[in-house]
Amino acid sequence: MSEERKKRVFICGDSTAASYKAEETLIVGWGQLLDRFLNRTEVVNHAMAGRSTKSFLAEGRLQRVLDEISPGDILLIQFAHNDESDKPERHTDPWTSYRDNLIIFISSARKSGAVPVLLTPICIRLWENDVLQQTHGEYLKVMKDVSVCENVPLIDLYKDSFHIVEKMGEVKSRSLYMNLYPGEDPRYPDGLQDNTHTRFAGAEAYARCAADGLFGMEFV
């Protein structure tokens, strides 16, 4: 009897989930490290920097995923950062085009026999007066609404990431994101202040949260 094929986890998302080359940047997306926590489950990461639900679909990237995915596989869907952009090729309205696009991802996965799972976007590390600010606004509400209306499992990675950053505090949480002091790394001689993209520590923490969510749903 042939060995049963192991299910795979596919990721559709943006730069916060994408994979990067260590020799080119210190940025590490959570999707890049997810397989470390999934008991040898194969992770196929199609997340790409700068993409929103709109541009990901327009560029045919979902179709590439569908060409690879098989019945029983899992499709993780995480977008919002670029949907919030003012750029016309990226922007979506939360309650109309963003919502409609999420449903396209969901229905396409189901037609392929795959299991769609929504993940809310990771938080932006935005501190004001020692208080971590809420981000992503209506996009979070829409994704949670779609989860209920379409009966799709949801991993609240925003909630998890927000809790981690808030607990660490403003100073210590710098190490999770691309915040570098001048001279800290030769690739960034003038330093960097980037509270959206994660370094290894942040990606590792958030990948663990995503994996815990999948284990909790008994998907892996």
pLDDT exceeds cutoff 60 at 2: no
The span from the CA of 174 to the CA of 186, in Å, is 19
163 within a domain of the structure (yes/no): yes
Summarize the confidence of residues 119-127 as an average pLDDT: 98
Q: Residue 38 domain-assigned?
A: yes
Over residues 113-128, the mean pLDDT reads 98
Q: Kindly report the CA angle at 58 between 53 and 63, in degrees rounded to 5?
A: 90
- Looking at the domain assignment, is residue 4 inside a domain? no
Write down the pLDDT at residue 62.
98
pLDDT in tens, 3-36: 566 889 999 999 999 999 998 999 999 999 999 9
**Given the DSSP bridges, would you call strands 177-180 and 192-198 parallel, antiparallel or unpaired?**
antiparallel
Average pLDDT over residues 164-168: 98
Q: Give the model confidence (pLDDT) of 44-61 as tens digits.
A: 999 999 999 999 999 999
Q: What percent of the chain has pLDDT over 70?
A: 97
More reliable by pLDDT, 201 or 2: 201
CATH number of the CATH domain containing 88: 3.40.50.1110
1 in a structural domain: no
Number of domains in the chain: 1
Residues 6+ away with beta carbon under 8 Å from 3: none
Q: Determine the structural domain holding residue 184 and report its residue range.
A: 9-216
pLDDT value at position 1?
A: 33
Question: In this structure, are residues 214 and 74 in contact, taking their beta carbons and an 8 Å threshold?
Answer: yes
Residue 3 lies in a domain: no
- 2 domain residue, yes or no: no
How do residues 94-109 score in pLDDT, each as one tens digit?
999 999 999 999 999 9
Q: State the DSSP H helix or E strand holding residue 200, giving kind and residue range, or none if neither.
A: helix 200-216
Question: What long-range pairs does 22-28 form, CB within 8 A, spacing at least 24?
Answer: 25/187, 26/178, 26/180, 26/185, 26/187, 26/188, 26/199, 26/200, 27/178, 27/197, 27/198, 27/199, 28/198, 28/199, 28/200, 28/202, 28/203, 28/204
Considering the domain boundaries, does residue 100 fall inside one? yes
